[in-house]
Amino acid sequence: MKSIKHLLGHWLSCKDASRVVSQAQERSLSAFERWRLRMHLAVCDKCTRFERQLQFMREALRRYRS
Amino acid sequence: MDNATFTAELDAHRRYLLRVAHLQLRDADLAEDVVQETLVAALSAQAGFTGKSSVKTWLTGILKHKIVDAIRQKQRQPIIQASFDDETDLDDFDPLFKDNGGWAAPPADWGDPENALSRQQFFDIMELCLEKLPPNTARVFMMREVMELESDEICKELTITANNLWVILYRARMALRQCLEQNWFAGQGRG
């Protein structure tokens, strides 16, 4: 039980995950942050979609400026 | 490239440069001045254009320096600083999310978004979406994503913390994402 609670304590909400996905475009995430984000994205289609959309926006802005 | 061709090429990017400058300076006259200086600098540095990048990329690089200079000048006026506080405060209340941190309005399916990249109309919508961002948010986002300034340069030029920067960029991305979804991916533009 203790270990489940411990894991849930590290569980990211979609709100938190979306912030981390955005910050990943500015700085390198720590190993722990990357692990936490991967755990979240593995089970969350919405945030996976969100991450792809941010990557697409970056590509669109790259095209825009070049 | 002969002179006439080169001048015509510069002129073709004028509208783009003005939009980009205006998004960061929010001052039509100042944007006009900065673009004028950029084009003059480009003309006199024509020999320096090696053709390794596109003319547009090269002009964007010149514009970047002119905009940073203009912001430095403006920064001396204290007005600009005040409105930053409103735009950097990451309130716990965020209408995009439910109380439990789940999406209130989850991202919609964008299909194959890459198709949009070949449509000029998509980029027009993107410009409109950028115009709708709050001034400082647009400025920071453009500095990062179009001028390609490094995060620490932006923090230094605007005297904001890294955390402020992340919050502003996050807000900008959330708003731009939502605007593109509503005005392009959900509409007939996608077809």
DSSP per-residue codes, B37-56 = HHHHHHHHTGGG--SSS-HH
**Candidates B114, B145, B169, B183, partner chain A, best to mutate (most A CBs within 10 A):** B145
CATH of B85-191, one of 1.10.10.10, 1.10.3720.10, 1.20.140.10, 2.40.50.140: 1.10.10.10
A-chain CB neighbours of B151 within 8 Å are 26-27
Secondary structure class of B58 (helix, strand, coil): helix
What is the residue range of A8's domain?
Answer: 2-65
B-chain CB neighbours of A60 within 8 Å are 116-117, 122-123, 126
**Average pLDDT for B80-108:** 77
**pLDDT at residue A39, as a whole number:** 93
Quick one: pLDDT band at residue A9, thresholds 50, 70, 90?
low
Domains held by chain A: number: 1
**Could you tell me how many CB contacts below 8 A there are between chain A and chain B?**
84
Quick one: pLDDT band at residue B50, thresholds 50, 70, 90?
confident
pLDDT tens column, B23-41: 999 899 999 999 999 999 9
A18: left (phi over 0), alpha (psi -120 to 50) or beta: alpha
Q: What own/partner pairs with CB < 8 Å and gap ≥ 24 does B77-83 have?
A: B80/B136, B81/B159, B83/B134, B83/B135, B83/B136
**pLDDT at residue B83, as a whole number:** 60
CB-nearest partner of A14 from B103, B148, B177: B103
Is the CB of A55 inside 8 Å of chain B's CB atoms?
Answer: no
CA–CA gap between residue B10 and residue A52 (Å, rounded): 34
What's the CATH code, domain B1-78?
1.10.1740.10
| ipTM of this complex prediction, to 2 decimal places | 0.89
Secondary structure class of B133 (helix, strand, coil): coil
Residues in chain B: 191
- What percentage of chain B exceeds 90 in pLDDT? 69
Is the CB of B91 inside 8 Å of chain A's CB atoms?
Answer: no
**pLDDT at residue A7, as a whole number:** 60
Is the CB of B179 inside 8 Å of chain A's CB atoms?
Answer: no
Give Cα A58 distance to the centre of its chain.
15
pLDDT tens column, B123-158: 999 999 999 999 999 999 999 999 999 999 999 998
pLDDT tens column, B154-187: 999 988 999 999 999 999 999 999 999 999 998 6
**Interchain contact, A56 vs B60, CB within 8 Å:** no
CB-nearest partner of B97 from A14, A26, A64: A14
Domain boundaries along the sequence of chain B: 1-78, 85-191
